[in-house]
Amino acid sequence: MKDSAKRALKGADFLSLKTFEPAAIELILSEAERIKSEGFKHVRLLANRSIGLLFEKPSTRTRASFEVAVVKLGGHPMYLSGSELQVKRGETLGDTGKVLSRYIDGLVVRTFGQDRLEEIAAAAEVPVINALTDECHPCQALADMLTISEYKGGLEGVRLAYVGDGNNVCHSLMRAGTKLGMAVAVATPPGREPLDRIVDECKAYCEAYDSTLSIGTDALKATADADVIYTDVWVSMGDVDTPATIDEFVPYRVDSALVENAADDAIVMHCLPAHRGEEIADEVLDGSRSVVWDQAENRLYAQAALLALIYGE
């Protein structure tokens, strides 16, 4: 199983969690744990390799953690701002991916529609990694699963409650959780639910991997006895089609009362950046239940592990 998971990741694109079996995700998490424990001093898998970071959206954690991961693995990160490339003047994404493949050994892409990412990947001749699209954020979910496993001693049977907007982070958490045997509950305002096709996809994972998924609008119901409470900003980057209002999201704010509704040892997660006082209260974000800073740090180890397995021997 481990060998087949290694083969699935070696030289592969990482566009979403949809295309990877649980064994491959578990292998990434295991490698991340190893790198975090042992450090990077003997890991030089990207020596003499350059990895492009093509970002069409702003970034703090994703950019910094990928750049540091590439350097610590012995490689050279090359930041490519979408506003400075010829894409801005009309060059197709496919042509961009094809040309960059002649210079670099991989592309980490942060963009808008999933179709933009897939256009680049289809044309590129090097591995392409999703650093966030409007549809999903798989690298964030890897770091999240690593963090939950650290605090809960594993993932199987862990009750994860996501409250807020049914966005890209929610989609990737659903995919990861239902593939890894978790009990996932999602609560969003009416009309802000995760995409139906991704819900249906994850319900199929529930049957295959002995997990559960519930989708609703009641934050108290979703977080009742939860082991993990997770939230994100109420309006994601680029979400202009159905603008949210603050009032509709207020019942989904992660405050002390909502946290008390969860299990006594529940942890609180947020992928950051946080709008303090909106989706999460200061006393929760900075409180004893919060693991957001470990969660942010784990982006480095999860992405380093992903790179190591894509480029490893």
Is 28 buried (19+), middle (13-18) or exposed (0-12) by CB count in 10 A? buried
Ordered strands of the 183-187 beta sheet: 212-216, 183-187, 159-163, 228-231, 267-270
Known active-site residue 140: yes
Which letter does DSSP use for residue 150 in this model?
Answer: H
Classified as helix, coil or strand, 49 is coil
The Cα-based distances of 64 to 48, 126, 148, 302 in angstroms read 20, 22, 22, 13
- Tokens 């894409």 correspond to 87
What's the rounded Cα separation, in Å, for the pair 265 and 197? 33
Which residue out of 63, 134, 140, 144 is catalytically annotated? 140
For the question of residue 105 being annotated catalytic, the response is no
Considering the candidates 159, 253, 299, 303, report the single residue annotated as catalytic: 299
Orientation of helix 138-152 relative to helix 22-38, angle to 10° = 70
Q: Can you say whether residue 277 is alpha, beta or left, with left for phi > 0 and alpha for psi between -120 and 50 degrees?
A: left
Q: Is 299 a catalytic residue?
A: yes
Catalytic residue among 270, 271, 289, 303: 271
Amino acid at 235: V
Taking the CB of residue 47, how many other CB atoms lie within 10 A of it?
A: 11
Which member of 61, 63, 137, 192 is catalytic?
A: 137
**180 closest CA partner among 202, 214, 144, 211:** 211
Peptide bond into 243 cis (omega under 30): no
Residues in the chain: 313
At residue 130's C-alpha, the angle toward residues 126 and 133, to 5°, is 140
Q: Is 202 a catalytic residue?
A: no
Could you say which of 134, 144, 165, 232 is catalytic? 232
Strand partners, 269: 230
Judge whether 165 and 159 are in contact, CB under 8 Å: no
Q: State the catalytic residue, choosing from 110, 175, 270, 289.
A: 110
Which residues carry out catalysis? 110, 137, 140, 232, 271, 299
